[in-house]
Amino acid sequence: MSLALKQVFNKVMTFRRKRKFESGMQCFELRKKAQASLNAGLDLKQAVQLPHGEDLSDWAHVNTCYKHFYYFVTEFNLIDHKELEPLVRNYD
């Protein structure tokens, strides 16, 4: 086998290398915050639980419609971002 073909079938390396985030980057800060919240002992099952008295299909429908609306509006800059801030705060 040629050297190039051996490198393709090398079991040690993958085609996509793992990302290494440099400190100071937004991805690094988000990953650090996510790891801190997961290591804090939070119960993720409780955090994503459906609110009492809500129907699952209605809840999913409203959230999906809102996401589509928000992404459509931000994609085409139909509304100023300052006007969308109250919606984002209510959604989070």
- C-alpha closest to that of 65 among 45, 89, 91: 91
pTM, whole model, 2 decimals? 0.37
Q: Are 21 and 28 in contact (CB under 8 A)?
A: yes
For the stretch 21-78, pLDDT in tens is 777 777 778 778 777 777 777 666 776 778 788 888 988 888 888 888 888 888 888 8
pLDDT of residue 47: 67
Q: What is the DSSP string of 30-64?
A: HHHHHHHHHHTT--HHHHTPPPTT--HHHHHHHHH
From residue 61, how far is each of 5, 44, 47 by CA, in Å? 49, 22, 19
pLDDT for residue 2 is more than 80 = no
For the stretch 63-76, pLDDT in tens is 888 888 888 888 88
Percent of the chain residues past pLDDT 90, beyond the cut:
0
